[in-house]
């Protein structure tokens, strides 16, 4: 993710550790932090919920109730208001600075989006959308990456309607982040969710039956929902269609199986529930940007 030439021309470097350039609009403030020398235990806190996203370099994050973790380009972190961050910069240099954006979003804006989501995109089992109150660390998907790139441009653009432009992008960003969070909860913690939660049951069923044929029709029956309603609720809540979710889970399984020297490509795609090698190759390459055979070769596994 690149910053505009205008950003570099207008910023003023005053400190080597966490030098900050800020842009403030009605419902959000964008801060770009640049670090030009190694440092440990730098403290930072915002009085509003904040999205932090790495642009360049590496940070080591120390947050409450979590082990320290690497924070790398392409990754983001959602923090509640007044959350204290303790940050190490192990690789920052004058010639290769660490860069991160932090976008503080007004709670009124977030609540307005949540209210609209609960009215038009209701969850199953009468649950409501709400902002996560813990530190959510995730890898940006294509949609979130493109929104962040656009917001970087809009905040630094000299345009009389930039507040309106940014407001519209913020709404989409909030929705996509909440759907990403929901997808992660269902994928990683479905076994902890109530057995009466229909989507939790379906996600767990998918993960245990990837080798079997799976269709929207059969899954909607298991959820005791019509096909159209099942598809709508699934996509609203997880931000992805049932078919794409199934393929994502199958590719995750394929990635692990491709590292097994005892399995052939044919055995792998059949174990993952793909009907043909050509379809498996197409889906795998679309998601991993490399063919299964080439990925397998990296681990010296026979094709």
Parse the chain into domains and list their residue ranges.
Answer: 5-185, 193-303
Q: What is the CATH class of 193-303?
A: mainly alpha
* pLDDT beyond 80 at 303: no
d(CA 131, CA 147): 19
CB 233 within 8 A of CB 200: no
Fold of 5-185: Jelly Rolls (2.60.120)
Residue keyed to tokens 């190759």:
281
* pLDDT beyond 80 at 265: yes
Q: Which helix (H) or strand (E) holds 52?
A: strand 50-56
SS3 24: strand
pLDDT band, residue 13 (cuts 50/70/90): very low
The whole-number average pLDDT for the span 204-226 is: 93
pLDDT score of 10: 55
Output the average pLDDT for the chain: 87
What's the predicted TM-score (pTM) here?
0.75
Q: Is 19 left (phi over 0), alpha (psi -120 to 50) or beta?
A: beta
pLDDT score of 124: 77
HSE at residue 73, side-chain half, CA atoms within 13 A, is 9
pLDDT score of 6: 57
Alpha-carbon separation of residue 90 from 39, 55, 239, 302 (angstroms): 7, 15, 35, 38
Alpha-carbon separation of residue 34 from 20, 42, 46 (angstroms): 7, 13, 17
User: Token pair of 44, please?
Assistant: 């930072």
């Amino acid at each position: 993710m690149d910053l505009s030439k205008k950003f570099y021309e207008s910023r003023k470097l005053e400190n080597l550790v966490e030098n900050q350039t800020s842009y403030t609009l009605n419902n959000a403030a964008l801060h770009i932090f640049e670090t030009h020398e190694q440092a440990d235990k730098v403290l930072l806190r915002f009085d509003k919920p904040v999205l932090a996203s790495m642009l360049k370099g590496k940070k080591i994050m120390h947050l409450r109730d979590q082990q320290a973790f690497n924070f790398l380009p392409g990754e983001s972190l959602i923090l509640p208001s007044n959350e204290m961050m303790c940050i190490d910069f192990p690789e920052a240099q004058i010639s290769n600075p660490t860069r991160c954006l932090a976008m503080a979003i007004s709670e009124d804006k977030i609540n307005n989006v949540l209210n609209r989501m609960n009215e038009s995109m209701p969850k199953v089992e009468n649950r409501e959308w709400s902002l996560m109150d813990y530190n959510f660390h995730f890898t940006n998907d294509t949609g979130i990456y493109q929104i962040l790139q656009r917001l970087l441009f809009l905040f630094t653009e000299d345009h009389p309607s930039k507040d309106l432009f940014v407001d519209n992008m913020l709404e989409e960003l909030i929705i996509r982040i909440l759907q990403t969070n929901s997808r992660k909860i269902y994928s990683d913690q479905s076994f902890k969710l109530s057995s009466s939660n229909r989507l939790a049951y379906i996600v767990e069923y998918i993960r245990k039956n990837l080798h079997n044929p799976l269709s929207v029709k059969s899954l909607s029956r298991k959820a005791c929902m019509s096909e159209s309603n099942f598809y709508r609720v699934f996509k609203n809540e997880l931000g992805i269609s049932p078919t794409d979710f199934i393929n994502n889970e199958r590719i995750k399984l394929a990635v692990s199986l491709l590292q097994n020297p005892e399995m052939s490509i044919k055995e792998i795609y059949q174990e993952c529930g793909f009907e043909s090698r050509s379809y498996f190759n197409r889906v795998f390459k679309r998601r991993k940007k490399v063919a299964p055979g080439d990925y397998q070769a990296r681990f010296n596994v026979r094709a």
